[in-house]
């Protein structure tokens, strides 16, 4: 047993009511995390940042046995795909997963509990077969308020549309450096403000058309500044009720 696995066992036997723990850069094994999850089922906030030895096996033990879990940080944990979150508790509201090698099924697993409010996927490492970002908007992230997709360079229009339609409570959405995004519909997005418009202006360099009206928190001054800086981009006030590829029957 490794030193840190031994430490986790000590925590689990001496602190059965433990609710918050930071294992930042602690290279304990999945078995150590499993032991911790078994004995500290009241855990609510777990920090696993730079926990390179973790896999979906350890995450599965944590998400299945800690039914009060509210926040998990797994940024830079390269060995986990996120699938271990599948079937997590509805209490899980905060997940930080920067620079992770998440599978499409892993992203689906993270939101599977239905309680996610904050999701940070900054610098998501692209996997063959797609990013799976569209799954965020398919019914399980209805409570999502903040979504960070900064430097998720392969995010495309289809994923953007799915998230926009499926996350009605979304208040802040970082799409900076999303290089593939060409068209964005933000009609009647009541929580889009000047700061969000500025982020779109500076970060989405391939954006060519922005459909926008009814955004009550966006000022006319911010719109004019946006147009001034992005003369290559067209701002349309119309709201398209049907969108699809150029060969579709939608008109």
Arithmetic mean of pLDDT over the chain? 83
Regarding whether 176 and 203 lie in a shared domain, the answer is no
Mean pLDDT value across residues 58-68: 95
Give residue 59's pLDDT: 96
Which pair of structure tokens corresponds to residue 9? Answer: 């066992």
Contacts of 116 (CB under 8 A, 6+ apart): 92, 93, 94, 95, 110, 140, 141, 143, 144
21 and 104 together in one domain: yes
Residues 63 and 162 placed together within one structural domain of the fold: yes
Domain boundary among 128, 156, 181: 181
**Among the ranges 10-19, 61-70, 131-140, 186-195, which has the highest mean pLDDT value?**
61-70
Q: Which domain holds residue 201?
A: 182-251
DSSP character at residue 92: -
Domain count across the chain:
2
Same-domain check for residues 138 and 249: no
Distance CA 56, CA 59 (A): 5
User: pLDDT tens across 120-152, in order?
Assistant: 998 888 665 566 888 898 889 999 988 988 888
181, 205, 236: which is the final residue of a domain? 181
| Alpha helices, H only, the chain | 3-14, 30-39, 56-65, 104-110, 157-166, 194-203, 220-229
* Residue 9, pLDDT score: 52
Whether residue 97 sits in one domain with residue 63: yes
* 8 pLDDT higher than 70: no
State mean pLDDT over 223-245: 82
The better pLDDT of the pair 196, 35 is held by 35
How far is Cα 174 from Cα 166, in angstroms, rounded to an integer? 17
Tens digit of each residue's pLDDT (9 = 90 or more) over 38-60: 989 999 999 999 888 889 999 99
Domain boundary among 121, 155, 181: 181
Share of the chain above pLDDT 70, in %: 85
For the stretch 176-205, pLDDT in tens is 666 667 788 788 777 778 887 887 888 777
pLDDT band at 248 (very low <50, low <70, confident <90, very high): very low
Q: Is the pLDDT at 161 greater than 80, yes or no? A: no
Give yes or no for residue 156 having a pLDDT over 80: no
User: Between residues 251 and 187, which one has the greater pLDDT?
Assistant: 187
Contact 204, 181 (CB under 8 A): yes
- Describe the strand order of the beta sheet including 183-185 as a list of residue ranges: 183-185, 209-211, 234-236
Contact 206, 180 (CB under 8 A): yes
Alpha carbons within 13 A on the beta-carbon side of 17: 0
Judging by DSSP bridges, how do beta strands 146-148 and 71-73 pair with one another? unpaired
């Amino acid at each position: 047993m490794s030193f840190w696995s031994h430490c986790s066992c000590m925590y689990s036997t001496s602190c059965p009511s433990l609710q918050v723990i930071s294992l930042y850069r602690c290279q304990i094994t999945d078995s150590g995390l499993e032991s911790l999850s078994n004995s500290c089922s009241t855990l609510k906030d777990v920090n696993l940042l730079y926990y390179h030895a973790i896999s979906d096996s350890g995450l599965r033990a944590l998400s299945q046995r800690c039914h009060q879990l509210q926040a998990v940080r797994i940024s830079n944990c390269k060995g986990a795909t996120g699938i271990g979150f599948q079937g997590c508790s509805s209490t899980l509201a905060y997940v930080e997963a920067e620079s992770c090698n998440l599978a499409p099924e892993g992203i689906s697993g993270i939101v599977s509990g239905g309680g996610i409010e904050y999701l940070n996927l900054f610098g998501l490492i692209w996997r063959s077969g797609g990013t799976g970002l569209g799954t965020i908007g398919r019914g399980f992230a209805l409570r999502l308020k903040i979504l960070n997709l900064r430097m998720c360079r392969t995010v495309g229009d289809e994923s953007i549309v799915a998230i926009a339609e499926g996350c009605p409570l979304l208040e802040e959405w970082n799409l900076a450096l999303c290089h593939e995004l060409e068209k964005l519909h933000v009609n009647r997005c009541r929580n889009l403000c000047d700061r969000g418009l500025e982020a779109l202006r500076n970060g989405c360099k391939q954006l060519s058309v922005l459909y926008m009206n009814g955004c009550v928190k966006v000022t006319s001054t911010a719109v004019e500044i946006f147009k001034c800086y992005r003369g290559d981009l067209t701002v349309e006030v119309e709201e398209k009720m049907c969108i699809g590829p150029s060969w579709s029957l939608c008109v």
